[in-house]
Structure 1
Amino acid sequence: MLVGKMNPGKDGDEVRGGETADDAPPPWEAPVAPARLDARVALPGSKSLTGRELVLSALADGVGRLRAPLHSRDTALMIDALRNLGTDITEIAGDQPFGADLSIRPADELTGSTSIACGLAGTVMRFVPAVAALALGPTAFDGDPYARKRPMRTILEALRELGADISDEGRGALPFTVHGAGRLRGGRVEIDASLSSQFVSGLLLSAPRFDEGVHIVHTGERVPSLPHIEMTLEALRERGVDADSPAPNEWRVAPGPIGARDLGIEPDLSNAAPFLAAALAVGGRVSVPHWPSSTTQVGDQLRTLLPEFGAEASLDGDVLTVTGTGTVRGVRLHVPEAGELAPTLVGLAALADGPSEITGIGHIRHHETDRIAALVAEINRLGGRARELDDGIAIEPAELHGDLWRSYADHRMATTGALIGLRVANVTVEDIESTSKTLPQFSELWHRMLGVDDPGRSEEESSTADPFGSPFSSLGL
Structure 2
Amino acid sequence: MLLKVDPVDSFSGTFRVPSSKPETQRAILTGTLAEGTTRVHNDLRCDETETMKNACRAFGATITEHDGYLEIRGIGGTLPHIRHVVQSRGSGLVFRVVTALASALPSPVVVTGDATLCNRVMEPLLVALRELGADVESIVSENKAPVVNWGRGLKGGTCRLPGDISSQFITAVLFAAPLAESPVEIEVTGEVYSQSYIRQTLASLTDAGIKVTASPDMRHYRVEPSAYQALDVTTHEDYTSASYLLAAAALFPGRTVLTNIYGDSMQGEFAIVPILRQLGVDITLDRTTMTMTVDNPPDSLRGDFEVNVQDCPNIVPTLAALGAYVQGSLRVTGGRLTRFHKASRIDAMAAELTRAGVDIEVLYIDGVVDGFVVRGAATYPGGVTLSSWGDHRIFMSLFVAGLRMQTANRFSGFEDVRLSFPSFMEEFRKAGVRTTAVAEENAPAGVVG
TM-score, structure 2 normalization: 0.90
- 3-state secondary structure, aligned to 2:301: coil
1:325 aligned residue: 297
Equivalent of residue 385 in structure 1, options 352, 359, 379: 359
Equivalent of residue 59 in structure 2, options 85, 93, 106: 85
Partner Cα distance (1:244, 1:301) in 2: 26
Write the letter of the residue equivalent to 2:42.
A
Q: How does 1:225-304 map to 2 (within 5 A)?
A: 225-248=194-217, 249-304=219-274
Equivalent of residue 428 in structure 1, options 398, 410, 414: 410
Write the letter of the residue equivalent to 1:66.
V
Tell me if structure 2 keeps the 8 A contact 1:231–1:296: yes
Structure with greater strand share of residues: 2
Tell me if structure 2 keeps the 8 A contact 1:358–1:394: yes
1:48 aligned residue: 22
Partner Cα distance (1:418, 1:205) in 2: 36
Partner Cα distance (1:285, 1:337) in 2: 29
Deviation at 1:315, TM superposition (A): 1.4
Write the letter of the residue equivalent to 2:259.
P
Equivalent of residue 347 in structure 2, options 373, 395, 398: 373
- 3-state secondary structure, aligned to 1:433: helix
Tell me if structure 2 keeps the 8 A contact 1:110–1:134: no
Matched, 1:361 2:335: yes
1:105 aligned residue: 74
Partner Cα distance (1:203, 1:31) in 2: 45
Tell me if structure 2 keeps the 8 A contact 1:44–1:70: yes
Equivalent of residue 111 in structure 2, options 134, 138, 141: 141
- 3-state secondary structure, aligned to 1:388: strand
1:365-397 per-residue CA deviation (whole Å, 9 max, x = no partner) reads 111111111011100110112222121112223
Deviation at 1:452, TM superposition (A): 4.9
Partner Cα distance (2:101, 2:81) in 1: 10
Write the letter of the residue equivalent to 2:347.
A
Tell me if structure 2 keeps the 8 A contact 1:272–1:299: no
Tell me if structure 2 keeps the 8 A contact 1:30–1:426: yes
2:148 aligned residue: 177
Matched positions, count: 427
1:194-224 per-residue CA deviation (whole Å, 9 max, x = no partner) reads 111111111112222222232111111x121
2:188 aligned residue: 218
1:229-281 per-residue CA deviation (whole Å, 9 max, x = no partner) reads 11111111111222221342112222211110122211212110010111111
Write the letter of the residue equivalent to 1:114.
H
Tell me if structure 1 keeps the 8 A contact 2:86–2:112: yes
Tell me if structure 2 keeps the 8 A contact 1:444–1:454: no
- CA RMSD in angstroms comes to 2.3
2:38 aligned residue: 64
Equivalent of residue 401 in structure 1, options 378, 381, 384: 381
Partner Cα distance (1:323, 1:68) in 2: 27
2:400 aligned residue: 419
1:439 aligned residue: 421
Matched, 1:29 2:18: no
Tell me if structure 2 keeps the 8 A contact 1:196–1:223: no
1:472 aligned residue: none
- 3-state secondary structure, aligned to 2:240: coil
Partner Cα distance (1:111, 1:305) in 2: 49
Q: How does 1:339-350 map to 2 (within 5 A)?
A: 339-350=313-324
Q: Which moved more, 1:378-387 or 1:321-330?
A: 321-330
Partner Cα distance (2:310, 2:251) in 1: 24
Distance 1:453 1:247, change over 3 A: closer
Tell me if structure 2 keeps the 8 A contact 1:270–1:341: yes
Tell me if structure 2 keeps the 8 A contact 1:132–1:178: yes
Q: Which moved more, 1:393-402 or 1:299-308?
A: 393-402
Tell me if structure 2 keeps the 8 A contact 1:239–1:260: yes
Partner Cα distance (1:246, 1:308) in 2: 32
Distance 1:454 1:380, change over 3 A: closer
Partner Cα distance (2:170, 2:136) in 1: 18
Partner Cα distance (1:211, 1:39) in 2: 54
Partner Cα distance (1:134, 1:225) in 2: 27
Tell me if structure 1 keeps the 8 A contact 2:135–2:150: yes
- 3-state secondary structure, aligned to 2:118: helix
Partner Cα distance (1:233, 1:122) in 2: 19
Unmatched segments (≥5 aa) in structure 2: 365-369, 438-445
Write the letter of the residue equivalent to 1:382.
A
Deviation at 1:418, TM superposition (A): 1.3
Distance 1:374 1:277, change over 3 A: same
Deviation at 1:454, TM superposition (A): 6.2
Unmatched segments (≥5 aa) in structure 1: 1-24, 463-477
Equivalent of residue 152 in structure 1, options 122, 132, 135: 122
Matched, 1:126 2:107: no
Tell me if structure 1 keeps the 8 A contact 2:14–2:257: yes
Tell me if structure 1 keeps the 8 A contact 2:38–2:232: yes
Deviation at 1:161, TM superposition (A): 0.6
Deviation at 1:152, TM superposition (A): 0.7
Write the letter of the residue equivalent to 1:401.
P
Partner Cα distance (1:204, 1:128) in 2: 12
Write the letter of the residue equivalent to 2:291.
V
Matched, 1:189 2:168: no
Partner Cα distance (1:153, 1:378) in 2: 30
2:133 aligned residue: 163
Partner Cα distance (1:192, 1:376) in 2: 27
Tell me if structure 1 keeps the 8 A contact 2:268–2:312: yes
Partner Cα distance (2:164, 2:16) in 1: 34
1:28-62 per-residue CA deviation (whole Å, 9 max, x = no partner) reads 12232233x33221123211011111111111122
- 3-state secondary structure, aligned to 1:29: strand
